[in-house]
Amino acid sequence: MKLIVAIIKPFKLEDVRNALTREGVVGMTVSEVQGYGRQSGHTEVYRGAEYQTSFVPKLKIELVVSDDVATEVVEAIVEAARTEKIGDGKVWVLDVAELVRVRTGERGAEAI
């Protein structure tokens, strides 16, 4: 099992979700996060004084998938989230040691 973590631009959430649905992924966790990479923040001006915002709002998506579909799922997220402009985000993948469905107690791939 793999944990896929994706940082994306907030307005790309619908696209990513639709792409994942097409891949057969049936659940995800989304959080609002802030951060920066190569994309710098933006500038706000109040009465002539400029304020640099160094953290940019992003969404973090987390989902667990089985090993055999992980590559395709990552590909789907990347394709859907891409605008080809700076700040499109990152996707990374981690091994998952154990997974339990709380309601039934199912374990491993059964719990996905």
Residues near another protein, by CB under 8 A: 44-49, 51-52
Our CB check for another protein shows the closer of 14 and 50 to be 50
49 vs 86, beta carbon nearer another protein: 49
CA–CA gap between residue 50 and residue 84 (Å, rounded): 28
Instruction: State in angstroms the smallest separation of the CB of 9 from another protein.
Output: 23
Shortest reach from residue 51's CB to another protein, in Å: 5
Is the Cβ of residue 52 or residue 104 nearer to another protein in the bound state? 52
Rounded to the nearest whole angstrom, what is the least distance from the CB of residue 30 to another protein in the complex? 16
Nearer to another protein, 44 or 75 (CB): 44
How far from 17 is each of 3, 32, 91, 108, CA to CA, in Å? Answer: 16, 15, 15, 24
Q: Are 8 and 33 in contact (CB under 8 A)?
A: no
Give the shortest CB-50-to-another protein separation in angstroms: 9
- Kindly state the helix (H) or strand (E) to which residue 79 belongs, with its residue range: helix 70-81
Torsion sign, CA atoms 20, 24, 26, 27: negative
